[in-house]
């Protein structure tokens, strides 16, 4: 894996759903169909699933040609009713988080894996992407090439548009257990030292993406 700049961006959306919309996902499907109508407006693909560790939290990943395309959708007449319907399936008091990340390499093929690992790492004061990317690259490459069950070439990383201290990495595995097992090895722990010393806080989870819709030109 290498880090190259790209105008493409992934929208990371995390949202706690009401129980009735987890058991019956017809309204969720109808809401995501609205986004499909943005194919001519720079929308590339969407992937949906629930966190394995917190199965009431929906993970929704949307790929756009560029950030401005998503902003144009948010400014359109379609967006108001869409936002209201999305709010209707969200659980009161639950989480709602959205960030945009220009992932590299692009496209992020981790979303096509059986299980997608997501790491959202917030750096300590005094550290930046420039200080962090080399130790991160070394650790990620070890996972990709040495980790049994890793999907080769599936890792992508980037800095959140909304927060230059927030680094996001995605990677594909054949199961969450494969990732957990490799994280317990001495090799992983050795390489993780240089990464963890720069991280103030993190959110990490695994998700099985059961709804994948990709424009034909990106398949």
pLDDT per residue as tens digits for the range 128-149: 999 999 999 999 999 999 989 9
pLDDT for res 3: 56
Q: From edge to edge, which strands make up the β-sheet containing 115-123?
A: 96-101, 9-16, 57-64, 43-51, 199-214, 115-123, 166-173, 156-159
C-alpha–C-alpha distance, residues 32 and 50, integer Å = 15
Pull the structure tokens for residue 8: 């493409």
Does the structure show a pLDDT above 60 at 215? Answer: no
Do 9-102+210-214 and 109-209 have matching folds?
yes
Going from N- to C-terminal start, the domains of the chain cover 9-102+210-214, 109-209
**Ranges assigned E (strand) in 57-198:** 57-64, 96-101, 115-123, 156-159, 166-173
**Nearest 10 degrees: Cα torsion 109, 128, 187, 152:** 10
pLDDT in tens, 18-39: 999 999 999 999 999 999 988 8
Domain 109-209 has CATH 3.40.50.620: no
pTM, two decimals, is 0.93
Q: 9-102+210-214: what CATH class?
A: alpha beta
Pull the structure tokens for residue 185: 């090895």
Q: How many CA atoms lie within 13 A of 150 on its CB side?
A: 21
Sequence-ordered list of residues with C-beta below 8 angstroms from that of 144, at least 6 positions apart, any chain: 1, 150, 152, 153, 154, 155, 171
């Amino acid at each position: 894996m290498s880090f190259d700049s790209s105008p493409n961006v992934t929208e990371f959306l995390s949202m706690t759903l009401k129980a009735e919309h987890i058991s019956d996902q017809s309204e969720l499907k109808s809401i995501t169909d609205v986004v499909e109508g943005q194919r001519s407006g720079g929308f590339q693909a969407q992937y949906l699933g629930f966190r394995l560790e917190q199965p009431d939290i929906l993970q929704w990943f949307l790929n756009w040609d560029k950030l401005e395309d998503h902003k144009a959708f948010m400014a359109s007449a379609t967006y108001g009713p869409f936002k209201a319907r999305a709010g209707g399936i969200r659980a009161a008091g639950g989480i709602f988080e959205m960030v945009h990340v220009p992932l590299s390499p692009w496209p992020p093929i981790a979303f096509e894996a059986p299980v997608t690992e997501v790491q959202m790492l917030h750096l300590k004061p005094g550290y930046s992407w420039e200080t962090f990317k080399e130790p991160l690259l070394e650790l990620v490459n070890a996972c990709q090439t040495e980790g049994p069950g890793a999907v080769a070439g599936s890792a992508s990383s980037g800095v959140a548009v909304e927060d230059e201290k927030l680094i996001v990495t995605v990677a594909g595995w054949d199961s969450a257990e494969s990732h957990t097992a490799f994280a317990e090895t001495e090799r992983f722990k050795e390489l993780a030292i240089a990464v963890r010393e720069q991280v103030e806080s993190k959110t990490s989870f695994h998700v099985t993406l059961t709804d994948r819709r990709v424009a034909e030109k990106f398949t």
